[in-house]
Amino acid sequence: MNNSTIISTKEEIGPVPKLLSPALHYYDLDGTLSSLNSTFDFIYGYLKNKRKYVRLFLGKSIALFLILTKTYHPVKSRSLLINIYFWNLKTDTLEEYFENVYKPVFLKSLTSLGRSLLNETDKADVMLTGCTEIPAKKIASLFGFKEVISTEFYYNNGKIKGIKTDTYGNFKVKHLLKRKERMIYYTDDLRSEKSLIAIMDEIVEV
């Protein structure tokens, strides 16, 4: 049973008050702080920028096939596509793309809550996202988050070799089960993360 208290800020989104203290405040990324999907919007832009059109075409063709054949699975298909798009890419080139190209695009995509947090001097605690780690860590740094929990990769000689730890959807739960502080979660999506919602003490719907 979900014992979380749900508070809606849809009518007026601005600086969100710290509801209880001490507590850890967890912020979702996509749809909550930004209107972008900072896994796929990021990698699509990177592949176009580097003219890796074959890989982009391959990934989108596989996604279309899965949808048309009704075999698309939100979790498994997402992992497959991430592995295809990110396979063997160098960390340093992805980080360079973020700084030079994606960062200004991301900043323009901030929601009201995102803009508010960006200007806060008392920074939020944790960014909790299914986003892949390279854009996620860069974005967390922009906000000044103390911690970021995101999808992580295996690496070999600075090149990505696949997903190591997935934090998409309810996979986030296992990262929080041993935490003793009160947990307050800010999100725009109450439907797709029911197991995560259930362990939170407070939910702020934005």
Q: What is the mean pLDDT of each run of 10 residues along the chain (206 residues)?
A: 51 46 86 96 98 97 96 94 97 97 97 91 82 97 93 96 94 89 91 89 92
pTM assigned to the model = 0.87
The DSSP line for 63-123 is HHHHHHTT---TTHHHHHHHHHHHTT-BHHHHHHHIIIIIHHHHHHTB-HHHHHHHT-SS-
Look at residue 126 and give its three-state secondary structure. Answer: strand
- Return the domain boundaries, the chain: 5-205
CATH homologous superfamily for the domain 5-205: HAD superfamily/HAD-like (3.40.50.1000)
